[in-house]
Amino acid sequence: MRSRALGYSALFFLSGATGLVYELLWVRLLYQSFGSTIQSVTTVVAAYMGGLGLGAWLLGRRADRHPRPAALYGRLEIAIGVFGIVSPAVLGLARHAYVGAAAALGAGSLGSLALRFGLAALVLLVPTTLMGGTLPVLTRALTGTDRAALKRWLGRLYALNTLGAVVGAALAGFVLIEHVGIRVSLWVTAAVNVGLGAAAIALARPLQVLPTLPDPGRKPGEHGTRDALHTVALVLLGCTAFASLLDEIAWTRVLVMVVGGSTYAFTLVLVVFLLGIGLGSALVARRSTERAVTAASAGLAQGVTAAGAAGLFVFFSWLPLYILAVFQIDGLGPTARLLLMGLAVGAVVLVPALG
């Protein structure tokens, strides 16, 4: 079991890393196709979040009824890799469709923006839906029918996946785009996806076929009842997701004006944002408490997030002065300058992201 858990943990980490490499590369491709604007960042983030949610809902249900979820995960990774290879051509076709449709319809600025967003989001919804299915499918492969293992592992695996995303975002934003190039980076990342898929299929071969779970969240004979705490938790999760992504886009917008260079600003925010989420998940995963205590902890986390977000108004007032001071230091190389800017972003973003 230990070796299998280590193997699946590596898959979780690398899956998160490749997903964020794709996100940064596709942001850059949209810059080239539709212009370097905050709308390009927003389009990719919206498509990612929508696809991840849709994939988790659709493919998570399928995983509960699949006899070999590890093999299903492998096929998902291979499909993601295939799309990664053809994504420049597909986004190029979307650009040509946008130009033709905008000219034929005589779309104004608002109609043009909606058309760009719709076409790009439609294209990116395909791979992101596949990515969204990887976490629940691989979780099912690791925990099987053991509900206790599911509760114990879910937070840890989510943290591991998110910390892998931190590595992928930093690698793409600071190394691959600048020094390797977009197309080669896409090919290498696609090869990693295919390798992950092949490894997962190989891991699935000696395993026993899992029984179908009609309702994996409950014990046999247990009826589905929702109390007020359950409903409040769902509403809170939705509101938290909405506010978190709103904060991410707003922070990126501010840092673009202060730091300059949309890719670097987006990467800095994304790395710190994901690092906070991953560390927060890892801390929570260590605790196993009653529902009421967990609900109180969630309320405390919301308070920390709100306090950190409110403190941003103070930090943003002195951030331009700090950036100017960094650029006026003689003999400071680009890497050291980037690290100093990253420290400033970390001071601004990490606390609310942890919450």
For residue 70, what are the CA distances in angstroms to 21, 162, 200?
23, 20, 6
* Distance, CA of 323 to CA of 328 (rounded, Å): 9
- Calculate what percentage of the chain has a pLDDT beyond 70: 73
* Distance, CA of 41 to CA of 27 (rounded, Å): 6
Confidence class for position 23, pLDDT limits 50, 70, 90 = confident
* Distance, CA of 131 to CA of 138 (rounded, Å): 11
Which helix (H) or strand (E) is 257 found in, with range?
helix 228-259
Is 197 in a helix, a strand, or coil?
helix
* Distance, CA of 123 to CA of 129 (rounded, Å): 11
Q: What pLDDT, on a 0 to 100 scale, did the predictor assign at position 84?
A: 92
For residue 11, what are the CA distances in angstroms to 128, 156, 199, 299?
17, 13, 9, 32
Q: Per-residue pLDDT averaged across 150-160, rounded?
A: 72
Q: What pLDDT, on a 0 to 100 scale, did the predictor assign at position 127?
A: 92
Task: Select from 19, 44, 20 the least CA-distant residue to 31.
Answer: 44
Least confident of 21-30, 98-107, 210-219, 324-333: 210-219
Q: What pLDDT, on a 0 to 100 scale, did the predictor assign at position 82?
A: 95
214 pLDDT exceeds 60?
A: no
CB 127 within 8 A of CB 21: no
Residue ranges per structural domain of the chain: 1-216, 228-355
Q: What pLDDT, on a 0 to 100 scale, did the predictor assign at position 198?
A: 92
What's the half-sphere exposure (Cβ side, CA atoms, 13 Å) at 355? 19
**CA 13, chain centre distance (Å):** 12
Least confident of 109-123, 279-293, 330-344: 279-293
Q: Per-residue pLDDT averaged across 211-240, rounded?
A: 63
Helix, strand, coil % in the chain, rounded to nearest 5: 85, 0, 15
190 pLDDT exceeds 90?
A: yes
Q: Which two tokens stand for residue 224?
A: 């589905």
For the whole model, what pTM was predicted? 0.79
* Distance, CA of 8 to CA of 177 (rounded, Å): 29
For residue 349, what are the CA distances in angstroms to 50, 57, 225, 247, 270?
23, 29, 38, 9, 10
Domain 1-216, CATH 3.40.710.10 — does that match?
Answer: no
Identify the residue whose tokens are 């079991």.
Answer: 1
pLDDT in tens, 284-308: 655 555 666 666 666 776 777 777 6
Between 353 and 137, the more confident residue is: 137
